[in-house]
Structure 1
Amino acid sequence: MALPLWMLTIWLALLGAVWGSFTSALCSRWPRGESIITGRSHCDRCGTQIAAYDLIPVISFLVLRGKCRTCRQKIGLSPIATELLAIVIAILPLAMLPQDEAVGLAIFAWILLPLILLDHRHLWLPDRLIMVLAVVGFLLGPLLNPDVTLIDRAIGLLAGFLSLEAIRHFYKRFRNIDGMGAGDPKLFGALGMWLGWQALPITLFTASAVGLLLILFSHRSKNLEQAAFPLGSYLGIGAYITALAPYQF
């Protein structure tokens, strides 16, 4: 039985805020080698451990006006921005997709979010997160699009990986430099497990368009030959837009 739209919206918003808070901590600690599960949140300025009541997503940031309770230094906008983003990407599909598919897209987007952020900030796509994305796609992919069969998804997994891996291999062979990270083909394959092979071309096209726009509006457009670009981030955004589009592939 479907939940009332208002109730599902509230649930997804709450879960999104919690997931966004976890994602913010993960993207901050993991690259520094800190524990994600056992480590305690602390102020980067004064080192004081943050109390549980100051870790309530969104609310704590607003109450404390974005400052540490102890040293009163600003903690930055990244945590609340990540929390709000996790909320938006979860509830937006409710306006465009049937309820089950909207929930599937919310889960898909939540797993993609740390991959997008880590690649954007550190040019790093952890294999463990890509594996989680692929496994959950195998289990819950039909929730996102019931018309895409398991065979379509399996082909998508192989086609996504092999296509970008071939480009990566030949580019390195002929230019003698790495033109693409090793994680990008793996991520594209995992996206194929969710979306099916039919959606891969439009996903890649959308990712390229997103990347081009972001590059043109950034300072890096002046040094394209020397710059490194987070293709994984663009692929993640492209996949979300593709899945959000109100038509089937």
Structure 2
Amino acid sequence: MLMIWLAVLGAVWGSFVSALCSRWPNGESIATGRSRCDNCGRQIAGYDLIPVLSFLILRGQCRYCGHQIGLLPLTTELVSIAVALIPVAFLPQDQAVGLALFAWLLLPLVLLDWFHLWLPDRLVLLLTVFGFVLGPLLAPEIGMIDRIIGLLIGFLSLQAIRYFYKKYRNIDGMGAGDPKLFGALGVWLGWQALPIALLTASCVGLVLILLTYRSKKPEDAAFPLGSYLGMGAYIAAIVT
């Protein structure tokens, strides 16, 4: 029953995150206005917005003009389901639910940084606040003091790297949102798990860079460190 609920909620959340990540960077509100086809402008009916099922039934096309919607909405919904179900195989039930919630809050940050190199302060703050509230569900052995220390160490460690890089190279080598995100991860995981989270993020980033940036010169490429940190933290939460 738990897996069914996680799958359903994951699909719904993934649909919301997909809409959020497509509208917010364009200055559009997610709270107002109905979804419309980008090609013909027709309003999409509620029965065509059922996560996963509507995409499969319509074969990824607009009902009215046949325009291809693209795979990103479906992929986001499936990823949202997957990150909620995977922990069930490795963690006790309460911790699995905690990790699902953690992953769902991370998902929009990972996507926005991946596609737009943007980590909105409001989402990072939301992740931080929920870390104090829901973090004990994921890691009950981590005390509040350790979470506060995790917040400080996570933020200050990357902020120091960012500061000295800019000081000596006179260019920004890291976005302002990355230290804030790492601090938020410290609230969820505690300071003890930050080294393994950073190491895992580095490994994930290296693999993805080799796969996706092969055609770019290093000096021309901008890498979504926040996305790597989110993925690394998720993996670290399972293995630690």
Category of TM-score, reference length = shorter chain: over 0.9
- Quick check: 1:231 aligned with 2:211? no
Aligned residue in 1 for 2:166: 172
CA distance in 2, matches of 1:123, 1:191: 18
CA distance in 2, matches of 1:218, 1:146: 37
Q: Is the 8 A contact 2:11 2:80 kept in 1?
A: yes
Point out the more displaced range, 177-186 or 37-46: 37-46
Q: Please list every run of at least 4 consecutive aligned residues from structure 1 whose deviation after the TM superposition is greater than 6 angstroms.
A: none
Instruction: Tell me the SS of whatever aligns to 1:125.
Output: coil
Aligned residue in 1 for 2:27: 33
- Quick check: 1:48 aligned with 2:42? yes
- Quick check: 1:91 aligned with 2:76? no
Aligned residue in 2 for 1:207: 201
Q: Is the 8 A contact 1:220 1:227 kept in 2?
A: no
CA offset digits 1:177-228 (Å, max 9, x no partner): 0000000000000000000000000101010111011111123464112210
Aligned residue in 2 for 1:4: none
Q: Is the 8 A contact 2:109 2:120 kept in 1?
A: yes
1:105-124 aligned at under 5 Å gives the runs 105-124=99-118
Gaps of 5+ in 1: 1-6
Q: Is the 8 A contact 1:204 1:235 kept in 2?
A: yes
CA distance in 2, matches of 1:33, 1:218: 28
Instruction: Tell me the SS of whatever aligns to 1:228.
Output: coil
CA distance in 2, matches of 1:39, 1:223: 41
Instruction: Give the superposed CA RMSD.
Output: 0.8
- Quick check: 1:135 aligned with 2:129? yes
CA distance in 1, matches of 2:162, 2:213: 25
Aligned residue in 1 for 2:5: 11
Identify which of 94, 98, 108 aligns with 1:104.
98
Instruction: Give 1:34 shift.
Output: 0.5
Instruction: Tell me the SS of whatever aligns to 2:219.
Output: coil
Specify whether residues 193 and 119 from structure 1 end up closer, same or farther in structure 2 by C-alpha distance, changes over 3 A only: same
What is the TM-score with the length of structure 1 in the denominator?
0.95
CA distance in 1, matches of 2:182, 2:214: 24
CA offset digits 1:154-193 (Å, max 9, x no partner): 0000000000000000000000000000000000000000
Specify whether residues 166 and 221 from structure 1 end up closer, same or farther in structure 2 by C-alpha distance, changes over 3 A only: farther
Q: Is the 8 A contact 1:215 1:221 kept in 2?
A: no
CA distance in 2, matches of 1:36, 1:193: 28
Whichever residue aligns with residue 104 of structure 1, its letter is G
Q: Percent identity?
A: 73
Q: How many residues align?
A: 240
Q: Is the 8 A contact 1:112 1:133 kept in 2?
A: yes
